[in-house]
Structures are given as C-alpha cells and as structure tokens.
Amino acid sequence: MRIDILTLFPEMFHDVLNESILRIAQEKNLVTFHLHNIRDYSNDKHKCVDDKPYGGGAGMVLKPEPIFNAVDAVEAQGDSVSKKILLTPQGNKLNQKIVENLSEETRLMVICGHYEGFDERIRSGMNVLEISIGDYVLTGGEIPAMVIVDAVVRLIPGVLGGDRSLQSESFMNKMLEYPQYTRPAEFRGMRVPEILKSGNHSKIKEWRKKKAVLRTQERRPDLLEKETQ
C-alpha cells in the first residue's frame, strides 16, 4: 500500500512512521509513506496557505489553492489514489469497520487541516472521505492522520508477525479483549488464573470468551447491543 500524507507539519510524522510496527511494515515493503508539505504547493510568493474568513470571525482558514494543487500533483505520481481522506472533527467517526475497509485499498491519500478550519470548497470540490477520530477538537489533522495510518497498516496482511493476534481479534470482533497475563505466575500477591496454566486449550478458549463478554457487558454494553441489531 502507498500512503501519501499532505500536511503543513511533515516533521511531526517522522518518529511515528519510523518506529515499531510501522517501521517494520516499511522494511517488509508492505507499505510506503510519502510526506508532502502543503506549503510547497502555494502559488503565493510568501508561501501563504491561510487567510481571514469571509464574513469575519476568529482565526484563519486554509485556502483552497495549495490543497487542490498538492492533491493534483501528488495524485499524478504513481498509481491512481483509491481513497482520499480529509481529517475533520465534522467527519464520520472512525471505527474498526472503516479501518478494515481502508486496509484493503492500494493507495490512500490523507489530508490534514490545521488552524480554525479549511475553505468549504476543499470538502465540496473533491471526492473525499471525511473522518473524525472523536468528539473533541485537536489543533490539526496530523495526530488523527497518525491514528488512522497506525490502525490501517497493522491490518495489512503480513504486517503483524503471524496472524494470531488478528485472529483472536476477529473471533472477539465486536467485543473488548479478554484479560491477558504473562510471567510471573504470581506478582505482589496477584495470581494468574489457574485455567490459563492448565494447557487445556478448549477450556482456555471458553474462559476467554466468557471474560470478553463479561468485560464488554460491564464497560461497553453498546457494542453488544449493536451486535444484536
């Protein structure tokens, strides 16, 4: 998969994309990241990318030209873009289903806004999928972009070593995870449940399922309701 990220702050991404699983995914040639600075696509001699809102009001608004120029130029590189994502608190709220769908694409373009907002023509004049990572307002789309990229890349086949962790997630698809333990068997008086040390795999599977259901009922009953709808 190729992922293009259009941002005013490309530096913010370097550590996140080059550590841990995202670094390994690149080393395995399963994903390539391409960072583009929107400012480079401004026609303005001062490389200005924002301006005061028409009609007055606080803050600055991202101008349409640099973003449209950037999208056109980047889109022309390589294969055609399968999905363009615009990060905005007004978008569809991100969930695992959206992440799964995105992980099947061959090329994504992620556009990060910043400042008070962007010119409305950026959302209406381009075919974009508007995504929010939650009902709170951040200073820009960069952190939401990192969230999406991380969630999507880990689902690309081959990225996670073996698919066992993914399998258990799909088995518990719409539920919270069951409790996990590792060594030591006893820590500060807290013991690992005997069943997990029993070697009885079918009993362990049953226990995990029961715990996942209980935990989901306690903490996120809405997930189970959605299941039965």
CB-side neighbour CA atoms (13 Å) of 229 = 7
Does the protein bind ligand ADE through residue 87 (CB under 6 A)? yes
**Could you tell me which residues are beta bridge partners of residue 5?**
35, 110
- Pick the piece of the chain touching ligand ADE (CB under 6 A) from 86-94, 119-127, 209-217, 219-227: 86-94
Does the protein bind ligand ADE through residue 144 (CB under 6 A)? yes
Task: Please provide the DSSP assignment of 119-187 as one string.
Answer: -HHHHHSS--EEEESSSS--SBSHHHHHHHHHHHHTTSTTSSSSSHHHHHHHHTTTSPPPP---S-SEE
| Chain centroid, CA 144 distance in Å | 7
Q: Nearest distance from residue 75's CB to ligand ADE, in Å? A: 21
Q: Nearest distance from residue 86's CB to ligand ADE, in Å? A: 8
Q: Is residue 8 a contact partner of residue 49, using CB atoms and an 8 Å limit? A: yes
Residue 113 is labelled as binding a ligand: yes
The contact mask relative to ligand ADE for 9-28 (x = CB under 6 A, - = no) is: --------------------
Does the protein bind ligand ADE through residue 66 (CB under 6 A)? no
Residue 137 is labelled as binding a ligand: yes
Q: Which of 136, 162, 180, 225 forms a contact with ligand ADE (CB under 6 A)? A: 136
Residue 178 is labelled as binding a ligand: no
Total of residues contacting ligand ADE (CB under 6 A):
12
| CB nearer ligand ADE, residue 129 or residue 213 | 129
Question: Using CB atoms within 10 A of its CB, is residue 229 exposed (0-12), middle (13-18) or buried (19+)?
Answer: exposed
Binding residues for S-adenosyl-L-methionine: 113, 133-138
